[in-house]
Structure 1
Amino acid sequence: MTVSFDVEQLDKFVLIGAAVTMLAILAVRLSSRAGLPSLLIYLLMGVALGESGVGIGFEDSQLAHSLGFAALLLILAEGGLTTNWREARPSMRLGFSLATIGVATSVTIMAVGGHYLLGLPWELAVLLGAVCSPTDAAAVFSVLRVVPLPQRLVGSLEAESGLNDAPTVVLVTLISTGAVADYGVFGTVGVIAFELVAGVAAGLAIGFGGAWLMRRVALPSSGLYPLAVLTLTLLAYGSATALHASGFAAVYVAALVLGNSELPHRAATKSFAEGVAWLAQIGLFVMLGLLLSPGRLSLSTVGTAIVAGLILTLVARPISVAVSSVVQPMPWRELSFVSWAGLRGAVPIVLTTIPLSEGVDGAERLFDIVFVIVVVYTLLTGPTLPVVARVLRVARRSEPRDLDLEAAPLERVAADLLQITISPVSKLHGVEVGELRLPQGASVSLVIRDGQTLVPEARTVLRHGDDLLVVTPRRLREATEGRLREVSARGRLAQWLDE
């Protein structure tokens, strides 16, 4: 059976699409319990639906390339909208370095290894390095949700995965179209640098301009605000590409600005973007699974993929992280975790559709190799991240978990709701609510104890296992979190101990 867009087949497509999407949604819980990125389940679902399974044939590399890029735009937009700039800013230097210097280092090592150890032609070896070097935000954070880490680590990984798509897309496109031979090495570096800088500039312009506009328009329906914000991120992509700049850089930067601006219905906007990103991930991974022909996978291809993955995981990634850390040194334990947490996902596979659509010799083999690398090494590294974090002693228990509070359209209310769980080792145990001495304007609004809720008074004593809901004005959030952490670490005398 071959995919056809005949109107008469609409009912069948709706039935299959809805069933696959529902199964994919339910699979998220299974994958999170197992510590696996859900992309693996989606990819296998696509393979099962393909020519070797149900029999749906899909070989249109041009369509896969277009749909893959569209899905990546939505995933990047969600990543930018949900990134907390205040928390990510201290690690942005390392993240940017990983996305540029780190990518260049990884591409070089992989290209040399691919040519001399695997016997690949130089063009294919460089393409292998280019498509495998970027990490994938969806893959990384689907696993890191269950691994509590210091913000500097989360920020570094988040910034890297959001920014490294842009230079690799440009590089893979230049190689696949043969433009690298015209520009030369220095010319290629110049083109990539220009596209990145211009893309960031376009993203900043659309982001700040869009935030200014959204604060001043009064849309007739609250549901239009999330749609408008997501549309602005896509406008950033279109504007950047019209200037021959990096659309991917523009999308992420515009989304980062919009997500950290005081906009109406911020919580609804982030929830909407997250839902759209999940839908994009499901469709993207299933489509890429359909594109694979298991009959093409030979022992030679699988062996090449395993060796290439070893070079990537054990050589290229650690060296690229070490080189990138020159701009922002970190303890070796944290750098080791960053190295191991460089999960690959949809991005490398989508990037292989560029040489496929350009008809590059060996592009089908490259696709198969990269597909195997992503599956095998995600299975290897994903489930082991919690163990590696504990062994390297970089995992920590996070006390305040912030929840977004819906803002009124005119932003008369600009506050955040913090949920704090009092851990068994926290010194919040035994402290009275009045002794917390939170910044003026912040307050403990609710205590949840043994499944029961109570409205606290100043003399209410906190206990291990309590969940607190703390309301704080957004401008006081950092001070409120800091005070809670101080009391949790030192008890009711934290203020005087510090002095």
Structure 2
Amino acid sequence: MDAFYIVVLASTSLILIAAFSSLLARRFGAPLLLLFLLIGLLAGVDGLGIDFSNNSAAYMVGSIALAIILFDSGFGTSLQSFRQAAAPALTLATIGVLITAMGFGLAARYLLGFSWLEGFLLGSIVASTDAAAVFFLLRIGGINIRDRVRSTLEVESGTNDPMAIFLTLALVNIMAAGESLDSVGLDLLIQFARQIGLGLILGLLGGVLIVQVIRRMKVERGLAPIFVLTLALMVFAFTSAIGGSGFLAVYVAGIYAGNRRIQAKASIIRFQEGMTWLAQIVMFLVLGLLATPSQFPQIAVPAVALAFLLVFVARPFAVWLCLLPFDYSQRETAFISWVGLRGAVSILLAILPILGNLDNGQLFFNATFIVVMVSLAIQGWTVKPMARWLGLIVPPQIGAIDKVELDLPGAANHELLVYRVVADSPVLRGERIPRWARPSLVIRDDRSMRYQYAGRLRENDHVYLFIAPGFSRLLDRLFASKAVLTENDNEFFGTFTILPSRKAEELDVAYGPGLISDADKDLTIAELMEQRLGGRPDYADRVRIGRMVLIVRQTDEHGHMSMVGISLEPVAPVTRLPLFLNLRELIEALRDFGRRHRR
């Protein structure tokens, strides 16, 4: 019992240290997940002396933690974002992982003296981006980029683990059995189709089950988050047990459940946020404890070289090939290739060669650990500066807003919101609250009063309002402060502005001729942009027409365009290499080359 108490004391102390270290990391902009790993290393066998070498336990703990993180990631992904980024993200999650694994494996064969199968195995281990790292940086790191780019990165990181896990498990089994890749090629394809198919089907069914259980059962508010998370883990375990991809299933279940109306949703979100933090801390601490840094110097040079090759060559090349058919700008493709952080998933997969009793099992783990640390250090520390350098940081549309969502019991068809009246907000300047919103209570100076008797609203008042579901976004503008725009915002939105209701033909007259095709001249600018984007444009969306770029500069309370910016400056590529050109730009470049050659 004394040993048990010591283990509990040591474990909780490490978790507290990691939690407190997050405050320091935020202040200095350090990659927080790298910090968790380093704390585990410092507490391990070569640091404070905690001897943890149970690979099976580490893999199980890490898998459960990753399932929790993926479910929360899916729960917070809107269906609109998923649809918008599904095609390019799923291409990256499958073909991109395969290309990265092959390119990295080729380099590993020569730098580490591996066989072809061993090199490809190491490439498969590090081929997927880490969902925990990507979601943490994009959602908590305060990086405000275009929704299309953000959605692509989030959906890719949430769906590329099954491909990497499948490749790693398959190669470990082949090498452990002494078989060749040629003899099991067809079986691998069948197994892959089975894993993906079962993951998608059971994930969708699991999401339906979660929603129906919460809707139909009179669950106590405090128990609802526990029901949801437990059911999600059951979906993960059941799918994995029958040969499907449990990680894909739990992510799909999260997307379905998160986009349905269920009771106590605000409580579920808050609970899952805390559980995700705990899962990330525990997973990275355990993996840090498992490592033996004294073994790193033996392979440090080739492992660091492989990490640089992954960051600067393999990942960018795979991203460029996968996004070639899609209309991403060079800057967007460059940013997506840079946000390819490796993390806990790669270290988890690196345990499998050890569990499979492969000859170089520990070497796989050590090399992967070094690659992950280099990736987190280089990319994790520079994601926001890179987004700023590429000009992808979107200026805020509205300023500060303080809003709290409160749960209503049962299947209520209204939402209860609480807004704090902030300085310089329209409601403070006398704007009226819409009729469809029903203000009921005002808290002022710790005293509550009915809205009808509160008089004119004051700064720091808390206003309780009942509204119909889905209308909260329209109120945000009313209670938000004015957005503070910087001098560089004109560079982002363009020098000139035009009303979206004007005819596209006017652009051809002013900046053409030949800029707008005859078929598009009768369209309004709004219709032209909707046509090019394949849907209603959102704030800061951009459409390139020749060398002119149209940017959504303002939207009204209903989300419709109210002002369009025009940039006539040629958008300089971030690199002179054709690596980040999309297919349309590549064709144009080849045509320009052909014209110059003929001259």
Relative to its length, the structure with more helix (as a share) is: 1
1:498 shift after superposition = 6.8
What's 1:174 paired with? Answer: 170
Distance 1:320 1:442 in 2: 52
Which fold has the larger relative contact order, with Cα–Cα distance below 8 Å and residues 6 or more apart in sequence? 1
What's 1:359 paired with? Answer: 357
Deviates more, 1:384-393 or 1:274-283: 274-283
Question: Among 81, 84, 98, which residue is 1:104 paired with?
Answer: 98
Distance 2:4 2:114 in 1: 44
1:404 shift after superposition = 5.8
2:134 equivalent to 1:140: yes
Q: 1:472 to 1:35 in 2, by over 3 A?
A: farther
Distance 1:393 1:456 in 2: 47
TM-score between the two structures when normalised by the length of structure 2: 0.72
C-alpha RMSD of the superposition = 3.7
Q: 1:476 to 1:413 in 2, by over 3 A?
A: same
Indicate the SS of the match to 1:474.
coil
Q: 1:323 to 1:224 in 2, by over 3 A?
A: same
Amino acid in structure 2 at the alignment position of 1:294: P
Contact 1:202–1:240, Cα closer than 8 Å, also in 2 = yes
Any residues of structure 2 matched to 1:328-347 within 5 Å, and which?
328-347=326-345
1:204 shift after superposition = 0.2
What's 1:271 paired with? Answer: 270
2:71 equivalent to 1:72: no
What's 1:149 paired with? Answer: 145
Indicate the SS of the match to 1:382.
helix
What's 2:57 paired with? Answer: 63
Indicate the SS of the match to 1:51.
coil
What's 2:469 paired with? Answer: 474
2:127 equivalent to 1:128: no
Q: How many residues of Structure 1 are paired with residues of Structure 2 in the alignment? A: 482
What's 2:188 paired with? Answer: 188
Indicate the SS of the match to 2:471.
helix
Contact 1:106–1:320, Cα closer than 8 Å, also in 2 = yes
What's 1:379 paired with? Answer: 377
Amino acid in structure 1 at the alignment position of 2:282: G
What's 1:283 paired with? Answer: 282
1:227 shift after superposition = 0.6
Question: Among 89, 100, 104, which residue is 1:95 paired with?
Answer: 89
Contact 2:554–2:561, Cα closer than 8 Å, also in 1 = no
Question: Among 436, 439, 462, which residue is 1:440 paired with?
Answer: 436
1:471 shift after superposition = 6.8
Indicate the SS of the match to 2:352.
helix
Amino acid in structure 1 at the alignment position of 2:144: P
Q: 1:396 to 1:344 in 2, by over 3 A?
A: same
CA deviations over 1:65-106 (Å, ceiling 9, x no partner): 222212211221221222233334312222222111211111
Q: 1:215 to 1:42 in 2, by over 3 A?
A: same
Deviates more, 1:314-323 or 1:225-234: 314-323
Distance 1:263 1:351 in 2: 35
What's 1:451 paired with? Answer: none
Distance 1:224 1:279 in 2: 19
- Flag structure 1 segments of 5+ consecutive residues without an equivalent: 1-6, 449-454
Deviates more, 1:475-484 or 1:198-207: 475-484
1:255 shift after superposition = 1.6
Question: Among 71, 79, 83, which residue is 2:77 paired with?
Answer: 83
Q: 1:491 to 1:321 in 2, by over 3 A?
A: closer
Indicate the SS of the match to 1:383.
helix
Indicate the SS of the match to 2:386.
helix
Contact 2:84–2:148, Cα closer than 8 Å, also in 1 = yes
Distance 1:224 1:458 in 2: 37
Amino acid in structure 2 at the alignment position of 1:210: I
TM-score between the two structures when normalised by the length of structure 1: 0.85
Contact 2:81–2:151, Cα closer than 8 Å, also in 1 = yes
Question: Among 5, 12, 17, which residue is 1:23 paired with?
Answer: 17
Indicate the SS of the match to 1:54.
coil
Question: Among 373, 390, 393, which residue is 1:392 paired with?
Answer: 390
Distance 1:312 1:439 in 2: 56
CA deviations over 1:284-304 (Å, ceiling 9, x no partner): 111111111122112x51111
Distance 1:446 1:230 in 2: 35
Amino acid in structure 2 at the alignment position of 1:149: I
Contact 2:406–2:417, Cα closer than 8 Å, also in 1 = no
What's 1:11 paired with? Answer: 5
Contact 1:431–1:491, Cα closer than 8 Å, also in 2 = no
Contact 1:61–1:353, Cα closer than 8 Å, also in 2 = yes
Distance 2:562 2:259 in 1: 35
CA deviations over 1:426-462 (Å, ceiling 9, x no partner): 9x6996423xx868338799899xxxxxx89999799
Distance 1:413 1:123 in 2: 57
Deviates more, 1:179-188 or 1:363-372: 179-188
Q: 1:492 to 1:108 in 2, by over 3 A?
A: closer
1:207 shift after superposition = 0.7
1:351 shift after superposition = 0.8
Distance 2:144 2:182 in 1: 47
What's 1:206 paired with? Answer: 206
Question: Among 31, 36, 44, which residue is 2:30 paired with?
Answer: 36
Q: 1:438 to 1:335 in 2, by over 3 A?
A: farther
